[in-house]
Structure 1
Amino acid sequence: MTFRGPALALTAALCAAASPALAVVGGELSRDVDGPRSWTVRVETSRGELCSGAAIAPELVLTAAHCLMGGGSVSVVSLDPRFRDRRQAVIAVLPHPTFVPGTTPRTQPGADLALLRLAAPLPADIEPLSLGSGLWQGETVTMAGYGLAVENNKRTARKLRETQLVNAGNYTTANTVKVAVDTQAMGEAPGAGACRGDSGGPVLRGNGTSHDLVGIVSWSSGPLNSHVRRICGGFTAITPVNDYRSWISEASSQLLAMGRERRRGDPVPPRENSSWSWWFSR
């Protein structure tokens, strides 16, 4: 990964100030009815957690696993063509089997991914994304999410925003993620990027019109050169979906197969000797 600036300074900035990416700082309000509104949802829990998610099938949302570690019931909120909220219940959550709860972004050894099975299909105006191929250094990507537009102002959350970033390459600690930065600031000064509320949000190849999902936002960090400690607007860590394509496909099939004939709220135990991690909305 190539950055302007000392490698040790980069490592210190990412490790010391890394935070789950909970809205898009430096981005713009998304108002295109055929844009991110069509595939980006808000993920909320009954215990107050706010994240984002990507629709990948009418009944499936891909998001970040750490968003769901607090427990409680889960719901997703999509926007209608007039940008009004529509809430739907989640009946099953399936985190990636390597994800380890209770870890920090720096120490997480597994994949920060989880699939959500909805109680009913998303409305017809939501267009699920397709899983993209590998994400290469120097590529432009578009991320979208709900959350803080201003790092320390909670009132700026829950509005859909988007921004373009550039993939600066891999960042490896206990696991490996892609790191994207503002196309101008390049992670050295405050710029556009993920913030609190964006975790789980979709990252699309190019300008976002391709429907080519290449990553899911995991966490964010402040820029290298800042007079105050920041956790947003510097580096955006992305879990590349191409690395986990097989799991996403198999897990999607498992989630879609379960519960077809059960009543909502009835418990469904895991299969014997299952390697999956399951829990259900309460």
Structure 2
Amino acid sequence: MTAGKRIGQLLPSLAVALSGVALMNVALASGAMAEDSGLQRLETTEAGRDWQAVGRLDVNGEGFCTGALIAPDLVLTAAHCLFDRDSRARIAPQTIEFLAGWRNGRASAYRSVRQAVIHPGYIYDGEISTDRVRNDIALLQLQRPIRNTTVTPFETDERPQKGARIGVVSYAHDRSEAPSLQDVCAVMSRQEGVLVMSCDVDYGSSGAPVFSFDGERPKIVSVVSAKAEVSGKQVALGSALAEELALLQSQLTGRRIGGQMPPGVGRVIVGERRQSTGAKFIKR
């Protein structure tokens, strides 16, 4: 199976029309979208210096997503990257490799994945819905922490308000050998925990970090889950993060908060298969 074909199978949510997400209330604000920056390819060491903690996630040697370090041994990405589209089974985490700062055949660090957890409310099967997009996050624990001084994990922050300036660093099928930065796009709407954004994403962008630039260093405020269309314009959809990320961290470590696991948290066994609901994706 070719890598190109596999990418399409790994990222089904990037190729669907999201009938389950209510986008009717999204105002396109065409003037704001016209001011979005283009993609800047981070091909040189200097251009990519601040983004070494964003990396390509090679999945089973056949496809890829995008991920970002939020701790020396933790990578944040999209949950649907951990499922096989054909079998709908969880992909063994040991077949996933994180290539930090991957650019033109070289990475700042190479790490295999030891274990992975997904949001307890995420279900791979079924029509795309606000619940699925909102919960489309996963944490990967690396076999060994990355202690390279040039690879600094990103902090996370609260999701931004409508109209906020954001940016995305991602790989994609047509830019698989070096990431691209879009440093100006916008939050068009926030609906039921889902961010609707004007950012430019494509196959391979799943799991890409969405950044806020309010502080001294960019902070991750969402993860790219899908793309959709609103009034003929392509938009990106981002998952919720703050409380959901806390759930994932509890799953991964088994830590109890106040003597109890947080509500809704149950440890996900690596390699566990989700039961099919029989629902189908709606393709564009």
- For 1:103 and 1:215, how far apart are their aligned partners in 2? 22
- For 1:120 and 1:141, how far apart are their aligned partners in 2? 31
Equivalent of residue 27 in structure 1, options 32, 39, 54: 39
Counterpart position of 1:60 = 74
How many residue pairs get aligned? The number is: 218
Partners of 2:225 and 2:238 within 8 A in 1: yes
Counterpart position of 1:189 = none
Partners of 1:88 and 1:119 within 8 A in 2: yes
1:209–1:50 CA distance, 2 compared to 1 (3 A) = farther
Equivalent of residue 200 in structure 1, options 190, 200, 207: 207
Quote the offset at 1:210 in angstroms: 2.1
Q: Which amino acid aligns with 1:198?
A: S
- For 2:77 and 2:231, how far apart are their aligned partners in 1? 27
- For 1:84 and 1:47, how far apart are their aligned partners in 2? 16
1:138 and 2:163 correspond: yes
Counterpart position of 1:177 = 194
- For 1:165 and 1:17, how far apart are their aligned partners in 2? 24
Partners of 1:27 and 1:161 within 8 A in 2: yes
Counterpart position of 1:167 = 187
1:107–1:130 CA distance, 2 compared to 1 (3 A) = closer
Partners of 2:20 and 2:128 within 8 A in 1: no
Equivalent of residue 126 in structure 1, options 111, 130, 151: 151
- For 1:244-255, what aligned pairs fall within 5 Å after superposition? 244-251=244-251, 253-254=253-254
- For 1:200 and 1:93, how far apart are their aligned partners in 2? 14
Q: Which amino acid aligns with 2:112?
A: A
- For 1:133 and 1:83, how far apart are their aligned partners in 2? 34
Quote the offset at 1:169 in angstroms: 1.3
Partner SS for 1:159? strand
- What's the CA shift string for 1:143-191, capped at 9, x where partnerless? 1111134xxxxxx43420110210011245xxx4101115xxxxxxxxx
1:275 and 2:266 correspond: yes
1:41–1:56 CA distance, 2 compared to 1 (3 A) = same
- For 2:117 and 2:56, how far apart are their aligned partners in 1? 17
Q: Which amino acid aligns with 1:15?
A: L
Partners of 2:39 and 2:181 within 8 A in 1: yes
- For 2:139 and 2:253, how far apart are their aligned partners in 1? 11
Quote the offset at 1:79 in angstroms: 2.4
Q: Which amino acid aligns with 2:162?
A: Q
- For 1:21-170, what aligned pairs fall within 5 Å after superposition? 26-30=38-42, 31=44, 32-36=47-51, 38-46=52-60, 48-70=62-84, 71-72=91-92, 73-79=95-101, 84-85=106-107, 86-106=109-129, 108-109=131-132, 111-124=135-148, 125-149=150-174, 156-163=175-182, 164-170=184-190
Partners of 1:63 and 1:199 within 8 A in 2: yes
Unaligned runs of 5+ in 2: 1-15, 22-36, 85-90, 256-264, 273-284
Q: Which amino acid aligns with 1:277?
A: V
Deviation beyond 6 Å, 4+ runs, structure 1: 80-83
Counterpart position of 1:269 = none
Quote the offset at 1:207 in angstroms: 7.7
Partners of 1:131 and 1:245 within 8 A in 2: no
1:215 and 2:239 correspond: no
Quote the offset at 1:29 in angstroms: 0.4
TM-score (norm 1): 0.67
1:199–1:53 CA distance, 2 compared to 1 (3 A) = same
TM-score (norm 2): 0.67
1:78–1:142 CA distance, 2 compared to 1 (3 A) = same
